[in-house]
């Protein structure tokens, strides 16, 4: 019997971005005068915008006075913020109950944490190239991964596979790193595939704020049938200068049921057991 | 094959504190005039202290200007904070490398997340009564739990079991909820037991700040041999009015190795893959 999770041994030596950072550091120490164009994970270059700064100061002030102080936050998120996000979806004609919106410590953290809901024998489907944490987080749990290559031929938004796989399917649109966006028609094919096979789509909508066209889906829940097969992970980072502040959200519809279990209820149970919520100041 | 993690089905209907909150709400709606003494999870009643408020405002100001702005934090924690915590251990004559200190979103979150390092077939040992999340987080991963009852007879700090179990052993000292503290001698017995059996102790030191006596261990690393068998989870909540702000720390010594794997390195790999770090403002 093993003590540690031996799946970690299946990972490459180090996470891609950690490796890049290490090499960049070594190079810049050897050649301090050289200017380096960083095309790796990137970082934010602009400070937070004035309205965010003002709101953060106000929240800190709230915490300084007994009458406005908030202690532990509800584990699934602060009610007014959950409602505000449900309201934000209405502009796309997506109706959500605020209890389907969960406040997270950001999309990256959530993409790993959500895997806890799924059986470790469930396969994963990844459209490559993809955010490298998708693969690594699944390798660390011992899952088999099916990679589907995307390219100019399929506009980087491929059709579902011919084979009927029951799997965790990752779709990121607008895509990191290609920038490709799924049309409603193409996304509908994946939703139908997931419903037919009992798969669950993890829809990474972190870059949703960059969509300006009305006919491009900014949420998978604009597609009929998505409420029975999809979880949407999103971010507050990419809109108004909030990156690195570590607050995002996840939508798990109440109709999403597998093996007789409601994934919405399972996530409530996970959050109430495993976290004490996101800091009031950030929410 | 199942799609979801069926271990969730082994949990009781709801997490203890969620259940209490639900019943308290129902009762107070029925009898709004009744005063309720809440002896459940509790919440903070005092605002954050002035020095914390001042530091939070300063950090928010840093984020408003390009020259002082911090983007993504290092996933394992901000260097100066990791060093400051290592320094804090020196007052107890515990020598730590700052790379053995990991900044977390608080002890509760960390106690769940750390389980990812361990094989799901590894058993857990719990000293009852205990923080209920210990049991639930392990049930959710399908682990077998051995409960050891504590009582007045063993001063709520029992000896290790006679049976040689290789397991994840939870020790919380000062204890939540009993308030009992492990003496150095008793803790040494558990450290020796863990080293002999290849077990790993998860030492929950969240209430360490309440220790005033010099001869009571505030860290398991005051005990000889702990560096090869223990992880310490701690909190910044219980000292200077910081509760709910969601920042804590974990110590994983470099000598802690199981199945040929360094748990310190595994945790670095976990953090760099699965989080984007704790917000600069909170650190």
Question: How does pLDDT run along chain B (283 residues), one tens digit per residue?
Answer: 799 999 999 987 666 777 788 888 899 999 999 988 877 766 777 888 888 888 889 988 888 888 888 888 888 988 999 999 999 999 889 999 999 999 988 888 889 999 999 999 999 999 999 988 899 999 999 999 999 999 999 899 999 999 999 999 999 999 999 999 999 999 999 999 999 999 999 999 999 988 999 899 999 999 999 999 999 999 887 765 666 677 889 999 999 999 999 999 999 999 988 888 888 888 8
- Rounded to the nearest integer, the mean pLDDT of chain B is 90
Tell me the shortest Cα–Cα distance from A214 to chain B, in angstroms: 31
Place of tokens 């955010």: A131
- What distance in Å separates the CA atoms of residue B110 and residue B56, rounded to the nearest whole number? 23
ipTM value: 0.87
CB proximity under 8 Å: A 62-81 to B: 63-66, 69-73
Instruction: Note whether B146 and B158 are within 8 A (CB).
Output: no
Answer whether CATH 1.20.1250.40 is correct for domain B79-274.
no
Question: If contacts are CB pairs under 8 Å, which of residues 194-233 in chain B contact chain A?
Answer: 198, 200
Give A21→chain B minimum CA distance, Å: 11
**Calpha distance B148→B158 (Å, rounded):** 8
Q: Do residue B63 and residue A53 have CB atoms under 8 angstroms apart?
A: yes
Which pair of tokens denotes residue B214?
């010099």
For residue A246, the model assigns a pLDDT of: 79
A174-199: average pLDDT: 96
Report the C-alpha dihedral over residues A261, A262, A266, A269, rounded to 10 degrees: -110
Query: What's the distance, CA A52 to chain centroid?
Result: 22
Task: Report CB contact under 8 Å: A244, B71.
Answer: yes
- pLDDT tens digit string along A37-72? 877 766 777 888 888 888 889 988 888 888 888 888
The 3-state DSSP class for residue B147 equals strand
Which residues neighbour A63 within 8 Å (Cβ) at sequence distance 6 or greater?
A69, A70, A280, A281, B47, B48, B53, B56, B245
Interchain contact A82–B (C-beta under 8 A): no
> Which residue from B4, B137, B266 is facing A118, i.e. has the nearest CB?
B4
- A residues 132-191 closer than 8 Å to B (CB): 133, 136-137, 140, 166
Distant-in-sequence, close-in-space partners of B179: CB < 8 Å, separation ≥ 6:
none
Q: Is B15 close to A272, i.e. CB distance below 8 A?
A: yes
Per-domain boundaries in chain B: 1-43, 79-274
pLDDT at A196: 98
For A250-276, the DSSP string reads EE--TT-EETTEEHHHHHHHHHHHH--
* Per-residue pLDDT reduced to its tens digit, A111-170: 999 999 999 999 999 999 998 889 999 999 999 999 999 999 989 999 999 999 999 999
> A235 CA to chain B: closest CA distance, Å?
12
């Amino acid at each position: 019997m093993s003590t540690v999770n031996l799946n970690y041994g299946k990972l490459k030596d180090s996470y891609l971005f950690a490796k890049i950072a290490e090499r960049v550091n070594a190079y810049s120490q050897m050649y301090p005068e050289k200017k380096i164009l960083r095309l790796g994970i990137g970082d934010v270059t602009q400070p937070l915008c004035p309205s965010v700064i003002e709101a953060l100061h106000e929240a800190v002030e709230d915490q300084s006075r007994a009458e406005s102080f908030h202690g532990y936050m509800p584990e699934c998120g602060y009610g007014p913020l959950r409602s505000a996000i449900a309201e934000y979806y209405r502009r796309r004609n997506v109706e959500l109950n605020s209890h389907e919106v969960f406040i997270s410590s950001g999309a990256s953290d959530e993409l790993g944490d959500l895997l806890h809901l799924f059986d470790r024998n469930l396969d994963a489907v990844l459209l490559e190239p993809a955010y490298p944490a998708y693969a690594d987080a699944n390798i660390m749990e011992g899952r088999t991964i099916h990679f589907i290559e995307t390219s100019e031929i399929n506009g980087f938004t491929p059709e579902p596979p011919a084979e009927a796989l029951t799997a965790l399917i990752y779709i990121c649109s607008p895509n990191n790193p290609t920038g490709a966006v799924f049309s409603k028609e193409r996304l509908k094919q994946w939703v139908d595939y997931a419903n037919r096979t009992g798969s669950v789509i993890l829809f990474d909508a972190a870059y949703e704020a960059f969509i300006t066209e009305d006919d491009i889906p900014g949420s998978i829940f604009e597609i009929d049938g998505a409420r029975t097969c999809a979880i949407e992970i999103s971010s507050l980072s990419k809109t108004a200068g909030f990156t690195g502040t570590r607050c995002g959200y996840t939508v798990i519809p109440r109709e999403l049921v597998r093996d007789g279990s409601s994934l919405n209820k399972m996530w409530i149970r996970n959050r109430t057991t495993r976290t004490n919520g996101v800091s009031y100041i950030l929410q």
